[in-house]
Amino acid sequence: MDIIKGFEIYSPVQQINLPMFKEHQVEVFIKRDDLIHPYIAGNKWRKLKYVLNDAICKDKRQLVTFGGAWSNHLLATAAASAIFGFKSIGYVRGELVENANLSLCRLFGMELKPVDRTSYKNKQALFQHYHAADPEAYFIDEGGASQEALVGCAEILQELNDTYDHLFCPCGTGTTLAGLQLGVKKFDVSIQLHGIAALAGNFIQEDIAKFIPGATDLIIHNNYHFGGYAKTTLELISFIKEFVAKTGILIEPIYTGKMMYALVDLIKKGTFKPNSKILTLHTGGLTGLLGKLSAFSEA
């Protein structure tokens, strides 16, 4: 319904002017989805938009979702619940720890329930067990992964007022990238999609194929995970420090920092033709920095 669809968002495209881009004769831009909302930022808003809409249409008032202790999705769902008038429960993987992310979730009114790692694996079973009897309860998968999420992410392509040769997006599950792929088809945009895997392993291409059969024109870069999910190296941290200080655009080391590092590395390697226009997607997640501050003070 209209409360969600009418939620005005601000996500401009800005050019990033680093000397190395000019030297290599490429133009780099960034779509500032991080500016959509401080806590429902980036792809988490894109992924939740039609999920929340569906919940409203079905008269569900209690959102039930899942995530790790630093999950951007948990926080986004908590904030969205407060804004759009839902109650929310977050199942948190592993022992309940205290951290800034979970404190913010609670502040937005989310009820947090720790769940052991084994039970956490079957989220539908947890939902059935605790919420099947509640007609107002609404299941949202970890990270917001769903068909609705794809539709929300696809809209990013519709918002572009200019043309670009390449579009870079950081990947966890790859749902956002699948949504971009959907947008490329739906809105008939000619652009080469690139996903930068934040996790180790080669599962993204396959997972995306489950959502969108025949999505073969994606390029997934699997060698910029810096050791895996939430892992960082001194090299990545120094890169982020320099990038933020030179551009004024805050990025974090879990997703967007890895994407930007990958882009700069690929530019250095001469991957792109002269005069290429490259768009990057800032997927938000800046509260993730709060869990990584010690890495920055050591670097």
Ligand X SMILES: *Cc1c(COP(=O)(O)O)cnc(C)c1O
Decide whether 137 or 281 has the Cβ nearer to ligand X.
Answer: 281
Q: In the bound complex, what is the minimum distance in angstroms from residue 72's beta carbon to ligand X?
A: 4
- What binding mask, one character per residue, do residues 201-240 give for ligand X by CB under 6 A, x or -? ----------------------------------------
Residues 16-45, one symbol each (x = binds ligand X by CB under 6 A, - = not), give --------------------------xxx-
Q: Which is nearer to ligand X, 90 or 143 (CB)?
A: 143
What are the two backbone dihedrals, phi and then psi, of residue 248, each rounded to the nearest 5 degrees? 75, 10
Of residues 30, 105, 171, 215, which one binds ligand X by CB under 6 A?
A: 171
287 contacts ligand X (rule: CB under 6 A): no
CB of 143 vs ligand X, minimal distance in Å: 5
**Contact between 68 and ligand X per CB under 6 A:** no
Of the pair 53, 175, the CB lying nearest ligand X is at: 175
Q: What contacts 212, CB < 8 A, 6 or more positions away?
A: 150, 178, 181, 182, 185
**Residue selected from 152, 172, 183, 253 as contacting ligand X according to rule CB under 6 A:** 172
Q: Which two structure tokens, joined as six digits, stand for 273? A: 């033709």
- Residue partners of 211: CB distance under 8 A and separation at least 6: 147, 150, 175, 178, 182
Structure tokens at 230: 């939430």
Q: State which residue has the least CB distance to ligand X.
A: 285
Considering only residues 86-115, where is the footprint of ligand X by CB under 6 A? none
Q: Which lies closer to ligand X via its Cβ, residue 230 or residue 276? A: 230
Q: Give phi and psi for 233, each to the nearest 5.
A: -130, 165
Q: How far is the CB of 48 from ligand X (least distance, A)?
A: 11
Strands, E assignment, 116-155: 137-139
Letter string b/e over residues 61-91, b meaning 16 or more CB atoms within 10 A of that residue's CB: bbbbbbbbbbbbbbbbbbbbbbbbebbbbbb
176: contact with ligand X by CB under 6 A: yes
Q: CB-side exposure of 191: number of CA atoms within 13 Å?
A: 29
* Total of chain residues touching ligand X, rule CB under 6 A: 17
User: Among 155, 292, 185, 178, which Cα is nearest to 229's?
Assistant: 292
* Cβ nearer to ligand X, comparing 209 with 276: 209
Tell me if 11 contacts ligand X by CB under 6 A: no
Chain length of the chain: 299
Please list the helix, strand and coil fractions of the chain in percent, rounded to the nearest 5, in that order.
Answer: 45, 20, 35
Binding region for ligand X (CB under 6 A) = 42-44, 72, 143, 170-176, 255-256, 283-285
